[in-house]
Amino acid sequence: MSISPNILADLQQIWSYQFMQNAIEAGTLTAIVAGVTGYFVVLRRSAFTAHAFSEIGFAGAAWAVLSGIPPLAGLLLGSNLGGLGIALLGRRATNRDTQIGIVLAFSLGLGLLFISLYSGYATQTYSILFGEILGVSYDQVLETIVAAVGILIGVGIIYRPLLFASLDEDVAEAKGMPMLTLGIAFMIIVAVAVSFAVQVTGVLLVFSLMVTPGATAQYLARRPSRAIAASVLIALLATWIGLFLSFYTPYPVSFFITAEVFVFYLFVRFVFVRFRWEKISPGTILKSPSDRSG
């Protein structure tokens, strides 16, 4: 297979492979879900939490491999337990970073133990760590559809209260919003989204779909609905282009996705934003918190 100048013919060629169809479908669904939830992850400064889910999920997946059940089941179990635990700790716990870091390190250690106990092939471990979108089965695509629909409905239901609680927790609480329930619902949504994103990017690279598109989108739009749309679009394009490039090169999809979102983030953060904001309010990007009184 080699790339031709005729993009349409290339796409036809890609689509003629069942594994590429599966990969594109699962990748598209995952990108949409990761783009939507990633916006809130960034808005709530929960990137580290999202990363922790994937590592707790790794321990779960390694355990699942060892026990002969599907890794996805272990991932979901691990990340959801982690999500529940972190949500119950509460968003206010000031040293939560530390606690998450402690749990994260232990989870990775557990995962390592399970892998060393497993006498089989190491490729499964590798694919959990770095993603294996090209190995997604048709059944996994169906599972991803169910999860994506569930997550999008969930986000739709808690959309405004979640936004409110993310921007102004104290007032939202005073207005009677159930903060603990909201926190748990959001963490479960993120845990499920992370578990499916791991199929595409792997445990170690999940940031590239869960955090970078959301972070980039915040610089592109100031209205949450538009920023979420931008976040989804970035995740989608990165996934599609990554799949396309990796089809014609010997390099892994995950690498292309991480590289694309990173380069685009740099462009938006340092080129696009300067050009756009300086017309409105000069120098705001450089302001530190200490300059802001008065």
Q: Which residues bind another protein (CB under 8 A)?
A: 43, 45, 156-161, 163-165, 167-168, 170-177, 218-219, 222-225, 227, 280-281, 284, 287-289, 292-294
Query: Please, which residue, 114 or 219, has the CB nearer to another protein?
Result: 219
Cα–Cα distance for residue pair 191/141, rounded to 1 Å: 18
Query: Please, which residue, 42 or 61, has the CB nearer to another protein?
Result: 42
Shortest Å, Cβ 62 to another protein: 35
Shortest Å, Cβ 188 to another protein: 16
In the block, tokens 């934003």 appear at 273
Query: Please, which residue, 38 or 71, has the CB nearer to another protein?
Result: 38
Query: Please, which residue, 142 or 285, has the CB nearer to another protein?
Result: 285
Residues 6+ apart with CB under 8 A from 226: 220
Q: Among candidates 37, 8, 270, which has minimal Cα distance to 147?
A: 37
Cα–Cα distance for residue pair 66/124, rounded to 1 Å: 11
Shortest Å, Cβ 155 to another protein: 8
Query: Please, which residue, 160 or 274, has the CB nearer to another protein?
Result: 160
Shortest Å, Cβ 268 to another protein: 11
Task: Compute CA 10 distance to the chain's CA centroid, rounded to the nearest angstrom.
Answer: 28
Shortest Å, Cβ 217 to another protein: 9
Q: Are 228 and 258 in contact (CB under 8 A)?
A: no
